[in-house]
Chains A and B, each alone.
With several copies, the nearest count.
Chain A
Amino acid sequence: MDLNLTPDEQKFRDELRSWLAANVPEPWPGHRRGEADAGYWDHLRDWQQKLFGGGWAGVSWPVEYGGRGASPIQQSIFLAEVARARAPEHFGVIGEGLVGPTIMAVGSEQQKQKFLPRILSGKDIWCQGYSEPNSGSDLASLSTRAIRDGEHFVVNGQKIWTSFAQIADWCLLLVRTDTSVAKHKGITCLLVDMKSPGVSTKPLRQMSGDSGFNEVFFTDVRVPIENQLGELNNGWRVGLVVLMNERANLGASVYVSFEETMRQLIEHCRTRKRNGRLLAEDPLVRQNIAQAHVELELFRLNTDRALSRSNAGETPGPEGSILKLYWSEMNQRLSQTAMEILGDTAQLSTFDNGNWAYRYLRSRGNTIEGGTSEIQRNILAERVLGMPKSY
């Protein structure tokens, strides 16, 4: 057991830190994602270019595809350091983290050559079209249809909860290509040009007031057959790889954001009073802060253990559900704890720019997006503990 970074890992981190110190731009002035204007998107695109220029795009991609060949631990160091440096949001997160690796795994040589370099350089921004209004937890029941017509698929249907759709160049899309077989067996994965005629997007406003997601509508969209990714009707397996990656990858960057939240909360406890007494002196506040600290530590440690396993060569499996389940529920408790500690004024948009109320509301989505907590528990029971399917 050695929880310290190895010399290699330290070297990687130090190099990255120096680079970030020199290259991270000033924060974009007061915005909330989804309500952004074109200037903001350019800001993100510039950062993506900078990463690419500095050799920090696709850190975990194999060297043969232009990446840095970073280990899972290095990849996690990368995500954490970038977050700590308050670098801009990672515009290429879906392309680099999900689409690229999937293309490497199942794409044709031609697809690799066409798409991978443009993902790496940030020229193409990707989104993923998975969920549909009637296919949430039951993703495999998706009904967006693709019908073969000569050298094209003709796609009709609607996707929902699609991040970056309003600005994306391409979409990794799951479509139904065979309605005569079991639902998992008739799905195909397509790479769709978002500028194709018939594609339209509409921002989806959340209870937290912002619009981080979109609805995407496909009306007679023609997709060339060479943009089929993997085998026909084998799209479910392709899609699953992406989901596993998604669950395993998020840890490091969300950890940094929770850490920052804790830091701010502790700072308030040290300076704000209730009824003449510092919050930090209130025994109930003290219990809550300590409990939040414990839970956050456990998230860090669970993440590190999972990373250590990945580093040892184990592929991310259903255990990723533990991390997702843990952090999503932890963040809801943390948000509630903050609202309780900070008290009545925490509900105001004029207090810390409304961030506490925003966090509180936004956190409710955590146990739904990326697979509900119910789905995660089903996965753990059935695929880790080997219990029979419950439905």
Chain B
Amino acid sequence: MYFDLSKPQKLLQQSVRDFCKREIPISRVRALMETDSAMDDSLWMEMAEQGWIGLHLDEQYGGLGLGPVELSVVAEELGRACVPGPWLSTNWAATLLASIGGPVASELLPGVFDGSMRITIAALEEQGSWSFDPAVMETRLSENGKKTVTEAVTVNVLNGRKYLVQHAQQADHLLCVAGVDDELCLLTIPVASDGLRITSTPGIDATRKVYQCDFSNVPIRRDQILARGDEARQALQQSQNVAMVAVCSEMLGILQWLLKTTVEYAKSRKQFDRVIGSFQVVQHMCADLLLLTESARSAVWNAAWALQENLDANRAVAVAKVYVSDAVRKAGNLAVQSHGGIGFTWEHDLHLYYKRAKADEYLFGDATFHRERLAEMILG
């Protein structure tokens, strides 16, 4: 048993950390988040050049062919630096495409990996959930006229609305989760399609932009249907597991930042003629931050490894999402409280991490959602 990063993984970690320090200091994060897209092309192309898009995916598509552990290493560093932009949503979408394979994957993925093609996923609905029950899904693919969806030339139409679609306005293609009859289906939709309206809906976290996508009789050709039924469900689940490892790793990076920043502040801020880190209550808050962060690391590494080994990854990933989502919220609260007034200001960087953590807590389902999933695995 060796429960640590390997040497190459540690080198990767260092190189991402160095890049972020050099290229994406917090001043650039703040500048980017004030823009409409929270990204700029040069940074995106640089990240693509580093190989960070699809680094865990097959070399046949242009990925680096590394594994979920390496993806986790990169995500943690991007979280620690609060790097804005569509890295997470792009990797989620790329994983989904790769998992389905076929001509669309071959067509789009090379461009995704080199940064020239932008994709994202439209999945969540306002009154839906991350379990994507087709029975209650509002976004539906339906037959136009009387022809069936299996006929190659038939044009079907998509109607409905998706929320919290990351970086939809910066994307060339949306992958869309929809209901068709009593099944799920996965579609690829160019953003320029007729009947598709994308509206900005600023969220709590300004470092990633989210949009509402309205589909009004959007025509869907058969070759835009990537998968349906069990195949769609499995590909989606698998891509979510990968993306959840990434988002948990990102939260781990946030936890590391919160711990380090809070301990440093507690060691330097003086009140009552002594540093506040000498007050037992502040010490204990820092000790709790340490415990939360270290435990989150165990959970994240275990999930990444289980995914890599294909060992009951559903369970390991759910455990990580539950633990880390709760941990990062508690840690954010401890960090703000330990900082006092200064930690509550816009000027201090704490709120950037605090808000990103809140968005991550929700993303792919909060702790309560995944506890129910775990209960299903444990109790049936």
Residues of A within 8 A of B (CB): 1-6, 9, 73, 131, 133-138, 141, 160-161, 204-207, 209, 266, 269-270, 272-276, 280, 283-284, 286-287, 289-291, 293-295, 297-298, 301-302, 304-305, 307-309, 311-312, 319, 322, 325-326, 332, 336, 339-340, 343-345, 347-350, 354, 357, 360-361, 364-365, 367-369, 372-374, 376-378, 380-382, 384-391
Q: Which single residue of chain A is at the shortest CB-CB distance from B354?
A: A207
CB pair A308–B283 under 8 Å, yes or no, is no
CB neighbours of B295 from chain A (8 A): 298, 301-302, 326
Q: Interface 1/0s, chain B 321-354, versus A by CB < 8 A?
A: 0110000010001001100111111111011001
* Residue B4 is within 8 A (CB to CB) of chain A in the complex: yes
Kindly provide the distance from the CB of A74 to the nearest chain B CB, expressed in whole angstroms: 10
Docked pose: A73 CA to B1 CA in angstroms: 8
CB neighbours of A386 from chain B (8 A): 263, 267
Query: Which of B126, B204, B345 is most buried by chain A, counting CB atoms within 10 A of its CB?
Result: B204
**19 A-B residue contacts at CB 8 Å?**
A138-B273, A141-B271, A204-B345, A209-B346, A280-B380, A287-B368, A290-B322, A290-B373, A291-B371, A294-B323, A298-B295, A301-B301, A309-B4, A311-B1, A312-B2, A360-B358, A368-B337, A385-B287, A390-B280
| A6-B1, A206-B346 as given contacts; A390 in contact with B69, CB under 8 Å | no
Question: CB < 8 Å: which of A297, A308, A357 contacts B319?
Answer: A297
A374-B281, A391-B272 provided; 20 other pairs, C-beta below 8 A? A1-B2, A3-B2, A206-B344, A206-B346, A207-B351, A280-B379, A294-B323, A294-B374, A302-B295, A309-B4, A322-B294, A339-B358, A364-B344, A374-B279, A378-B284, A380-B286, A381-B277, A386-B263, A387-B267, A387-B277
* Residue B236 is within 8 A (CB to CB) of chain A in the complex: no
CB pair A387–B345 under 8 Å, yes or no, is no
Kindly provide the distance from the CB of A298 to the nearest chain B CB, expressed in whole angstroms: 5
Q: Which of B12-20, B109-117, B131-139, B181-189 contacts A (4 or more CB under 8 A)?
A: B131-139
CB pair A367–B337 under 8 Å, yes or no, is yes
Q: Which single residue of chain A is at the shortest CB-CB distance from B358?
A: A347
Q: Which single residue of chain B is at the shortest CB-CB distance from A139?
A: B271
Query: Which of B1, B126, B210, B274 is most buried by chain A, counting CB atoms within 10 A of its CB?
Result: B1
For B, the interface residue count at a CB cutoff of 8 angstroms equals 93
Docked pose: A205 CA to B135 CA in angstroms: 45
Docked pose: A137 CA to B127 CA in angstroms: 44
CB neighbours of A73 from chain B (8 A): 1
Q: Interface 1/0s, chain B 309-328, versus A by CB < 8 A?
A: 10000000001001100000
Question: CB < 8 Å: which of A136, A309, A357, A390 contacts B283?
Answer: A390
Question: CB < 8 Å: which of A325, A374, A388 contacts B278?
Answer: A388
Instruction: Give the tally of cross-chain contacts (CB within 8 A).
Output: 274
| Shortest beta-carbon contacts, A-B, top 5 | A207-B351, A286-B375, A381-B283, A205-B346, A276-B136
Question: CB < 8 Å: which of A138, A293, A326, A372 contacts B378?
Answer: A293
* Residue B170 is within 8 A (CB to CB) of chain A in the complex: no
CB pair B278–A347 under 8 Å, yes or no, is no
Question: CB < 8 Å: which of B1, B4, B69, B359 contacts A9?
Answer: B1
Docked pose: A365 CA to B135 CA in angstroms: 42
CB pair A266–B347 under 8 Å, yes or no, is no
CB pair B372–A287 under 8 Å, yes or no, is yes
* Residue B201 is within 8 A (CB to CB) of chain A in the complex: yes
* Residue B288 is within 8 A (CB to CB) of chain A in the complex: yes
Docked pose: A247 CA to B137 CA in angstroms: 49
Residues of B within 8 A of A (CB): 1-6, 9, 69, 124, 126-129, 131, 133, 135-136, 163-164, 201-205, 210, 212, 263, 266-267, 270-275, 277-284, 286-288, 290-291, 294-295, 297-299, 301-302, 304-305, 308-309, 319, 322-323, 329, 333, 336-337, 340-348, 350-351, 354-355, 358-359, 362, 366, 368, 370-375, 378-380
CB neighbours of A275 from chain B (8 A): 127-129, 131, 133, 136
Kindly provide the distance from the CB of B24 to the nearest chain A CB, expressed in whole angstroms: 21
CB pair B305–A345 under 8 Å, yes or no, is no
Q: Which single residue of chain A is at the shortest CB-CB distance from B350?
A: A207
Kindly provide the distance from the CB of B39 to the nearest chain A CB, expressed in whole angstroms: 20
Q: Which single residue of chain B is at the shortest CB-CB distance from A382?
A: B283
CB neighbours of B212 from chain A (8 A): 350
| A286-B372, A381-B286, A385-B290 as given contacts; A391 in contact with B279, CB under 8 Å | yes
CB neighbours of B270 from chain A (8 A): 134
CB neighbours of A291 from chain B (8 A): 322, 371
| A287-B372, A347-B358 as given contacts; A390 in contact with B278, CB under 8 Å | yes
| A204-B345, A205-B346, A206-B346 as given contacts; A326 in contact with B372, CB under 8 Å | no
CB pair A378–B351 under 8 Å, yes or no, is no
CB neighbours of B375 from chain A (8 A): 286-287, 289-290
CB pair B163–A305 under 8 Å, yes or no, is no
Kindly provide the distance from the CB of A325 to the nearest chain B CB, expressed in whole angstroms: 6
CB pair B301–A1 under 8 Å, yes or no, is yes
Q: Which single residue of chain B is at the shortest CB-CB distance from A389?
A: B278
| A270-B379, A373-B337 as given contacts; A347 in contact with B128, CB under 8 Å | no
CB neighbours of B301 from chain A (8 A): 1, 301, 305
Question: CB < 8 Å: which of B277, B323, B340, B345 contacts A207?
Answer: B345
CB pair A290–B374 under 8 Å, yes or no, is yes
CB neighbours of B1 from chain A (8 A): 2-6, 9, 73, 304, 307-308, 311
CB pair A365–B344 under 8 Å, yes or no, is yes
Q: Which single residue of chain A is at the shortest CB-CB distance from B369?
A: A343
Kindly provide the distance from the CB of B195 to the nearest chain A CB, expressed in whole angstroms: 21
Docked pose: A368 CA to B345 CA in angstroms: 12
